[in-house]
Structure 1
Amino acid sequence: MRLRLFVVAVPVLMAVGCGGTSSHTVKDVGADYRLSEHPEQGLVIVSTRFSTDCKNGENPSAALEYEDSVYMRRSTGVIPVNDLHLAHDFQAPPGHFSVKALNEGAYQIRRLSIGHIMPITKETRTPFEVEAGTAIYLGEVHFKLTNCGPFPSITTQVTDQWERDSQLLQQKMKNIRAEEVVKRLISTRTGKR
Protein backbone atom coordinates (compact mmCIF):
# COMPACT_ATOMS: atom_id res chain seq x y z
CA MET A 1 0.00 0.00 0.00
CA ARG A 2 2.73 2.47 0.97
CA LEU A 3 4.73 1.65 -2.15
CA ARG A 4 1.69 2.32 -4.36
CA LEU A 5 1.07 5.65 -2.60
CA PHE A 6 4.73 6.59 -3.08
CA VAL A 7 4.63 5.69 -6.80
CA VAL A 8 1.56 7.91 -7.29
CA ALA A 9 2.76 10.78 -5.06
CA VAL A 10 6.23 11.28 -6.59
CA PRO A 11 5.09 12.33 -10.11
CA VAL A 12 2.41 14.62 -8.62
CA LEU A 13 4.92 16.29 -6.30
CA MET A 14 7.45 16.66 -9.12
CA ALA A 15 4.87 18.34 -11.37
CA VAL A 16 3.80 20.74 -8.61
CA GLY A 17 7.34 21.47 -7.41
CA CYS A 18 8.71 22.06 -10.88
CA GLY A 19 5.76 24.20 -11.97
CA GLY A 20 5.16 22.12 -15.09
CA THR A 21 6.25 24.34 -17.96
CA SER A 22 7.96 27.11 -15.99
CA SER A 23 10.59 29.22 -17.71
CA HIS A 24 13.08 31.91 -16.73
CA THR A 25 14.23 34.25 -19.51
CA VAL A 26 17.55 36.04 -19.17
CA LYS A 27 18.89 36.22 -22.72
CA ASP A 28 17.45 38.17 -25.62
CA VAL A 29 16.15 36.35 -28.68
CA GLY A 30 18.64 35.53 -31.40
CA ALA A 31 19.05 37.55 -34.59
CA ASP A 32 17.29 34.83 -36.65
CA TYR A 33 14.14 34.66 -34.46
CA ARG A 34 10.85 34.52 -36.41
CA LEU A 35 7.47 35.12 -34.79
CA SER A 36 5.87 32.78 -37.36
CA GLU A 37 7.91 29.86 -36.01
CA HIS A 38 6.66 30.49 -32.44
CA PRO A 39 2.88 31.04 -32.79
CA GLU A 40 2.33 31.09 -29.01
CA GLN A 41 4.84 33.89 -28.41
CA GLY A 42 5.08 37.63 -28.79
CA LEU A 43 8.09 39.93 -28.52
CA VAL A 44 8.68 42.59 -25.88
CA ILE A 45 11.08 45.38 -26.85
CA VAL A 46 12.40 47.75 -24.18
CA SER A 47 15.42 49.94 -23.57
CA THR A 48 16.76 50.86 -20.15
CA ARG A 49 19.09 53.50 -18.76
CA PHE A 50 20.73 53.90 -15.39
CA SER A 51 22.29 57.04 -13.93
CA THR A 52 23.61 57.84 -10.49
CA ASP A 53 25.12 60.68 -8.52
CA CYS A 54 27.56 58.36 -6.72
CA LYS A 55 30.72 60.40 -6.19
CA ASN A 56 33.09 57.59 -5.27
CA GLY A 57 33.00 55.95 -8.69
CA GLU A 58 30.47 53.31 -7.67
CA ASN A 59 28.76 51.68 -10.61
CA PRO A 60 26.17 49.31 -9.14
CA SER A 61 24.59 46.58 -11.21
CA ALA A 62 20.83 46.88 -11.76
CA ALA A 63 18.12 44.70 -13.34
CA LEU A 64 14.36 44.60 -13.78
CA GLU A 65 12.63 41.39 -12.77
CA TYR A 66 9.35 40.47 -14.44
CA GLU A 67 6.86 37.62 -14.09
CA ASP A 68 3.58 36.52 -15.57
CA SER A 69 0.43 37.40 -13.68
CA VAL A 70 -0.52 33.76 -13.16
CA TYR A 71 -0.58 32.75 -9.50
CA MET A 72 2.04 30.00 -10.01
CA ARG A 73 4.52 32.40 -11.72
CA ARG A 74 5.43 29.97 -14.47
CA SER A 75 7.25 32.58 -16.52
CA THR A 76 9.84 34.95 -15.05
CA GLY A 77 12.83 36.83 -16.35
CA VAL A 78 15.31 39.65 -16.11
CA ILE A 79 15.83 42.77 -18.22
CA PRO A 80 19.28 44.38 -17.82
CA VAL A 81 19.37 47.98 -16.59
CA ASN A 82 23.07 48.28 -15.73
CA ASP A 83 24.70 44.93 -16.44
CA LEU A 84 28.42 45.23 -15.74
CA HIS A 85 29.14 42.15 -17.91
CA LEU A 86 27.15 43.27 -20.94
CA ALA A 87 28.20 45.94 -23.45
CA HIS A 88 26.00 49.04 -23.45
CA ASP A 89 23.93 49.69 -26.56
CA PHE A 90 24.03 53.50 -26.13
CA GLN A 91 25.68 56.08 -23.86
CA ALA A 92 25.15 59.34 -21.93
CA PRO A 93 23.90 57.85 -19.66
CA PRO A 94 24.62 54.24 -20.61
CA GLY A 95 21.83 51.83 -21.42
CA HIS A 96 20.72 48.49 -22.78
CA PHE A 97 18.32 47.45 -25.55
CA SER A 98 16.42 44.18 -25.02
CA VAL A 99 14.14 41.96 -27.08
CA LYS A 100 12.48 39.12 -25.16
CA ALA A 101 10.20 36.37 -26.48
CA LEU A 102 7.36 35.58 -24.06
CA ASN A 103 4.26 33.45 -24.22
CA GLU A 104 1.00 35.32 -24.71
CA GLY A 105 -0.51 36.66 -21.50
CA ALA A 106 -0.48 39.30 -18.77
CA TYR A 107 2.85 40.17 -17.15
CA GLN A 108 4.22 42.68 -14.70
CA ILE A 109 7.59 44.21 -14.10
CA ARG A 110 7.82 43.22 -10.48
CA ARG A 111 10.87 45.04 -9.14
CA LEU A 112 14.11 46.86 -9.79
CA SER A 113 17.09 45.30 -8.01
CA ILE A 114 20.27 47.34 -7.53
CA GLY A 115 23.54 45.87 -6.23
CA HIS A 116 24.41 48.93 -4.14
CA ILE A 117 26.55 49.02 -0.96
CA MET A 118 23.40 47.72 0.69
CA PRO A 119 21.28 46.01 -2.01
CA ILE A 120 18.24 48.09 -2.99
CA THR A 121 14.92 46.71 -4.20
CA LYS A 122 12.17 48.91 -5.58
CA GLU A 123 8.81 47.20 -6.09
CA THR A 124 7.11 48.42 -9.27
CA ARG A 125 4.30 46.01 -10.22
CA THR A 126 4.05 47.62 -13.66
CA PRO A 127 1.69 45.62 -15.94
CA PHE A 128 2.15 44.86 -19.63
CA GLU A 129 0.47 42.50 -22.08
CA VAL A 130 2.04 40.11 -24.57
CA GLU A 131 0.07 39.12 -27.69
CA ALA A 132 1.00 36.07 -29.73
CA GLY A 133 2.49 37.02 -33.08
CA THR A 134 2.98 40.66 -32.09
CA ALA A 135 6.09 42.67 -31.24
CA ILE A 136 5.40 45.45 -28.71
CA TYR A 137 7.60 48.37 -27.67
CA LEU A 138 7.41 49.31 -23.98
CA GLY A 139 9.60 52.42 -24.27
CA GLU A 140 12.81 53.48 -22.57
CA VAL A 141 12.82 53.17 -18.79
CA HIS A 142 15.39 55.44 -17.11
CA PHE A 143 16.24 54.83 -13.46
CA LYS A 144 18.08 57.51 -11.48
CA LEU A 145 19.78 56.62 -8.21
CA THR A 146 20.37 59.75 -6.14
CA ASN A 147 21.61 60.50 -2.63
CA CYS A 148 24.09 57.70 -3.15
CA GLY A 149 24.75 56.73 0.44
CA PRO A 150 22.90 55.12 3.30
CA PHE A 151 19.55 56.73 2.31
CA PRO A 152 19.37 56.57 -1.50
CA SER A 153 16.31 57.36 -3.60
CA ILE A 154 15.26 56.12 -7.03
CA THR A 155 13.21 57.94 -9.65
CA THR A 156 11.78 56.38 -12.80
CA GLN A 157 10.98 57.98 -16.14
CA VAL A 158 9.51 56.30 -19.22
CA THR A 159 9.97 57.95 -22.62
CA ASP A 160 9.43 57.09 -26.27
CA GLN A 161 12.86 56.56 -27.84
CA TRP A 162 11.56 54.58 -30.82
CA GLU A 163 13.57 56.57 -33.36
CA ARG A 164 16.80 55.28 -31.82
CA ASP A 165 15.43 51.91 -30.68
CA SER A 166 13.94 51.04 -34.10
CA GLN A 167 17.44 51.36 -35.55
CA LEU A 168 18.82 49.10 -32.80
CA LEU A 169 16.05 46.58 -33.60
CA GLN A 170 17.03 46.55 -37.28
CA GLN A 171 20.69 45.97 -36.33
CA LYS A 172 19.84 43.11 -33.93
CA MET A 173 16.94 41.34 -35.63
CA LYS A 174 16.92 40.12 -39.25
CA ASN A 175 13.27 39.05 -39.42
CA ILE A 176 11.37 41.72 -37.47
CA ARG A 177 10.62 44.98 -39.29
CA ALA A 178 10.31 48.21 -37.31
CA GLU A 179 6.99 49.09 -38.96
CA GLU A 180 5.46 45.85 -37.60
CA VAL A 181 6.10 46.87 -33.97
CA VAL A 182 3.21 48.17 -31.87
CA LYS A 183 4.01 50.94 -29.35
CA ARG A 184 2.59 50.40 -25.87
CA LEU A 185 4.65 52.50 -23.49
CA ILE A 186 4.40 51.25 -19.94
CA SER A 187 3.08 53.53 -17.27
CA THR A 188 5.16 53.85 -14.12
CA ARG A 189 4.66 56.16 -11.26
CA THR A 190 7.48 58.66 -11.30
CA GLY A 191 8.61 59.13 -7.78
CA LYS A 192 11.03 58.30 -5.06
CA ARG A 193 11.65 54.95 -3.47
Structure 2
Amino acid sequence: MFEAVLGAGDSDTLAIRAALYQASQSLEEQHISEEAAQRDRAEDLAEIEQRVAHLSADPEQISLPAVAALVERATALRDTGRLDEAEAAFTEAIDKGRRALGDGHPVVVSARYRLIHIHRLRGHTDVALAAARAALAEADRGLGRTHYETLITAAGVITLLLEAQQVEEHEELLEDRLADIIEGLGFSHPLVRALAAHRASLTLGQPDWRR
Protein backbone atom coordinates (compact mmCIF):
# COMPACT_ATOMS: atom_id res chain seq x y z
CA MET A 1 0.00 0.00 0.00
CA PHE A 2 2.70 2.51 0.97
CA GLU A 3 4.81 1.51 -2.06
CA ALA A 4 2.23 3.24 -4.28
CA VAL A 5 2.94 6.56 -2.57
CA LEU A 6 6.64 6.43 -1.74
CA GLY A 7 7.94 3.95 -4.29
CA ALA A 8 9.20 0.42 -3.69
CA GLY A 9 12.82 1.52 -3.31
CA ASP A 10 12.24 4.62 -1.19
CA SER A 11 14.13 4.58 2.12
CA ASP A 12 10.96 5.27 4.10
CA THR A 13 9.17 2.41 2.35
CA LEU A 14 12.02 0.06 3.18
CA ALA A 15 12.14 1.32 6.77
CA ILE A 16 8.41 0.85 7.27
CA ARG A 17 8.47 -2.65 5.82
CA ALA A 18 11.45 -3.58 7.99
CA ALA A 19 9.81 -2.08 11.06
CA LEU A 20 6.60 -4.02 10.49
CA TYR A 21 8.60 -7.22 10.27
CA GLN A 22 10.71 -6.38 13.31
CA ALA A 23 7.59 -5.54 15.28
CA SER A 24 6.73 -9.22 15.42
CA GLN A 25 10.14 -10.16 16.80
CA SER A 26 11.31 -9.96 20.38
CA LEU A 27 13.35 -6.94 21.49
CA GLU A 28 16.37 -9.23 21.89
CA GLU A 29 16.18 -10.19 18.23
CA GLN A 30 16.10 -6.54 17.20
CA HIS A 31 19.34 -5.62 18.96
CA ILE A 32 21.44 -8.79 18.82
CA SER A 33 22.62 -10.53 15.68
CA GLU A 34 20.79 -13.73 14.85
CA GLU A 35 23.93 -15.81 15.22
CA ALA A 36 24.81 -14.35 18.61
CA ALA A 37 21.22 -14.66 19.79
CA GLN A 38 21.15 -18.35 18.86
CA ARG A 39 24.36 -18.98 20.80
CA ASP A 40 22.95 -17.21 23.83
CA ARG A 41 19.66 -19.09 23.60
CA ALA A 42 21.45 -22.44 23.30
CA GLU A 43 23.31 -21.66 26.51
CA ASP A 44 20.09 -20.54 28.17
CA LEU A 45 18.29 -23.71 27.12
CA ALA A 46 20.36 -25.96 29.37
CA GLU A 47 19.48 -23.82 32.39
CA ILE A 48 15.82 -23.69 31.36
CA GLU A 49 15.67 -27.47 31.03
CA GLN A 50 16.92 -27.82 34.60
CA ARG A 51 14.26 -25.40 35.82
CA VAL A 52 11.54 -27.25 33.91
CA ALA A 53 12.65 -30.57 35.42
CA HIS A 54 12.62 -29.10 38.92
CA LEU A 55 9.24 -27.40 38.58
CA SER A 56 7.63 -30.40 36.87
CA ALA A 57 8.80 -32.99 39.38
CA ASP A 58 5.19 -33.63 40.42
CA PRO A 59 3.09 -34.02 37.24
CA GLU A 60 -0.10 -33.74 39.29
CA GLN A 61 0.82 -30.26 40.50
CA ILE A 62 1.03 -27.88 37.54
CA SER A 63 1.95 -24.44 38.84
CA LEU A 64 2.19 -21.06 37.15
CA PRO A 65 6.03 -21.09 37.38
CA ALA A 66 6.05 -24.55 35.79
CA VAL A 67 3.91 -23.42 32.85
CA ALA A 68 6.00 -20.26 32.44
CA ALA A 69 9.15 -22.38 32.35
CA LEU A 70 7.61 -24.59 29.67
CA VAL A 71 6.85 -21.51 27.58
CA GLU A 72 10.38 -20.25 28.10
CA ARG A 73 11.81 -23.61 26.98
CA ALA A 74 9.62 -23.65 23.87
CA THR A 75 10.70 -20.10 23.02
CA ALA A 76 14.37 -21.01 23.39
CA LEU A 77 13.90 -24.04 21.13
CA ARG A 78 12.19 -21.83 18.55
CA ASP A 79 14.92 -19.22 18.70
CA THR A 80 17.61 -21.84 18.09
CA GLY A 81 15.81 -23.11 15.00
CA ARG A 82 14.50 -26.36 16.48
CA LEU A 83 11.01 -25.71 15.21
CA ASP A 84 9.52 -29.21 15.48
CA GLU A 85 10.63 -29.51 19.10
CA ALA A 86 9.46 -25.97 19.79
CA GLU A 87 6.01 -26.64 18.37
CA ALA A 88 5.63 -29.73 20.54
CA ALA A 89 6.88 -27.79 23.57
CA PHE A 90 4.46 -24.91 23.00
CA THR A 91 1.60 -27.38 22.59
CA GLU A 92 2.55 -29.01 25.89
CA ALA A 93 2.73 -25.61 27.61
CA ILE A 94 -0.64 -24.54 26.22
CA ASP A 95 -2.36 -27.80 27.17
CA LYS A 96 -0.97 -27.78 30.71
CA GLY A 97 -1.58 -24.06 31.07
CA ARG A 98 -5.20 -24.40 30.06
CA ARG A 99 -5.77 -27.15 32.61
CA ALA A 100 -3.99 -25.38 35.44
CA LEU A 101 -4.60 -21.70 34.71
CA GLY A 102 -7.46 -21.43 32.22
CA ASP A 103 -7.67 -20.48 28.54
CA GLY A 104 -7.47 -16.74 29.08
CA HIS A 105 -4.48 -16.65 31.42
CA PRO A 106 -1.72 -14.29 30.17
CA VAL A 107 0.87 -17.08 30.11
CA VAL A 108 -1.39 -19.25 27.95
CA VAL A 109 -2.15 -16.37 25.58
CA SER A 110 1.56 -15.60 25.37
CA ALA A 111 2.33 -19.23 24.51
CA ARG A 112 -0.28 -19.22 21.76
CA TYR A 113 1.13 -16.03 20.28
CA ARG A 114 4.69 -17.37 20.36
CA LEU A 115 3.58 -20.58 18.66
CA ILE A 116 2.15 -18.50 15.83
CA HIS A 117 5.65 -17.27 15.01
CA ILE A 118 6.69 -20.85 14.21
CA HIS A 119 4.03 -21.00 11.51
CA ARG A 120 5.36 -17.71 10.14
CA LEU A 121 8.93 -19.01 10.08
CA ARG A 122 7.72 -21.98 8.06
CA GLY A 123 5.93 -19.69 5.63
CA HIS A 124 2.48 -20.93 6.68
CA THR A 125 0.86 -17.51 6.82
CA ASP A 126 -2.72 -18.80 6.58
CA VAL A 127 -2.19 -21.20 9.48
CA ALA A 128 -0.51 -18.48 11.51
CA LEU A 129 -3.32 -16.03 10.79
CA ALA A 130 -6.05 -18.47 11.80
CA ALA A 131 -4.22 -19.24 15.03
CA ALA A 132 -3.61 -15.55 15.71
CA ARG A 133 -7.28 -14.70 15.23
CA ALA A 134 -8.26 -17.44 17.68
CA ALA A 135 -5.65 -16.26 20.18
CA LEU A 136 -6.89 -12.67 19.90
CA ALA A 137 -10.49 -13.71 20.49
CA GLU A 138 -9.40 -15.65 23.56
CA ALA A 139 -7.31 -12.74 24.82
CA ASP A 140 -10.22 -10.33 24.36
CA ARG A 141 -12.50 -12.62 26.36
CA GLY A 142 -10.08 -13.53 29.11
CA LEU A 143 -7.88 -10.45 29.47
CA GLY A 144 -9.69 -7.53 27.83
CA ARG A 145 -8.67 -5.34 24.93
CA THR A 146 -6.02 -3.35 26.78
CA HIS A 147 -4.01 -6.12 28.45
CA TYR A 148 -0.39 -6.32 27.28
CA GLU A 149 -0.74 -9.81 25.81
CA THR A 150 -3.92 -8.78 23.99
CA LEU A 151 -2.17 -5.76 22.49
CA ILE A 152 0.78 -7.85 21.30
CA THR A 153 -1.55 -10.47 19.83
CA ALA A 154 -3.63 -7.81 18.08
CA ALA A 155 -0.48 -6.37 16.54
CA GLY A 156 0.43 -9.84 15.34
CA VAL A 157 -2.94 -10.27 13.63
CA ILE A 158 -2.57 -6.85 12.00
CA THR A 159 0.84 -7.81 10.61
CA LEU A 160 -0.31 -11.23 9.43
CA LEU A 161 -3.32 -9.76 7.64
CA LEU A 162 -0.95 -7.55 5.67
CA GLU A 163 1.30 -10.51 4.87
CA ALA A 164 -1.75 -12.47 3.71
CA GLN A 165 -2.77 -9.50 1.52
CA GLN A 166 -6.12 -9.22 3.28
CA VAL A 167 -5.86 -5.48 3.03
CA GLU A 168 -9.38 -4.40 3.92
CA GLU A 169 -9.49 -6.41 7.14
CA HIS A 170 -5.93 -5.31 7.91
CA GLU A 171 -6.91 -1.65 7.64
CA GLU A 172 -10.07 -2.13 9.71
CA LEU A 173 -8.26 -3.90 12.54
CA LEU A 174 -5.41 -1.38 12.48
CA GLU A 175 -7.90 1.46 12.82
CA ASP A 176 -9.80 -0.36 15.56
CA ARG A 177 -6.79 -1.33 17.68
CA LEU A 178 -4.07 1.24 17.10
CA ALA A 179 -5.24 3.68 19.80
CA ASP A 180 -5.28 0.87 22.38
CA ILE A 181 -1.81 -0.28 21.32
CA ILE A 182 -0.38 3.25 21.53
CA GLU A 183 -1.94 3.88 24.95
CA GLY A 184 -0.95 0.51 26.34
CA LEU A 185 2.63 0.27 25.09
CA GLY A 186 3.62 3.91 24.73
CA PHE A 187 4.81 5.65 21.60
CA SER A 188 8.47 4.87 22.28
CA HIS A 189 7.80 1.14 21.85
CA PRO A 190 9.19 -0.03 18.46
CA LEU A 191 5.98 -1.89 17.71
CA VAL A 192 3.91 1.26 18.20
CA ARG A 193 6.25 3.35 16.08
CA ALA A 194 6.16 0.79 13.27
CA LEU A 195 2.37 0.56 13.26
CA ALA A 196 1.94 4.33 13.53
CA ALA A 197 4.32 4.86 10.60
CA HIS A 198 2.39 2.31 8.59
CA ARG A 199 -0.91 3.97 9.50
CA ALA A 200 0.50 7.30 8.34
CA SER A 201 1.59 5.76 5.04
CA LEU A 202 -1.94 4.47 4.48
CA THR A 203 -3.31 7.93 5.11
CA LEU A 204 -0.91 9.35 2.52
CA GLY A 205 -2.12 6.80 0.02
CA GLN A 206 -5.80 7.29 0.82
CA PRO A 207 -6.52 10.85 2.03
CA ASP A 208 -10.10 9.97 2.99
CA TRP A 209 -9.17 6.66 4.62
CA ARG A 210 -11.52 5.71 7.49
CA ARG A 211 -12.85 9.21 8.00
Task: Give the TM-score taking structure 1 as reference length.
Answer: 0.25
Higher fraction of helix: 2
Name the structure with the higher strand share.
1
* TM-score normalised to structure 2 length: 0.24
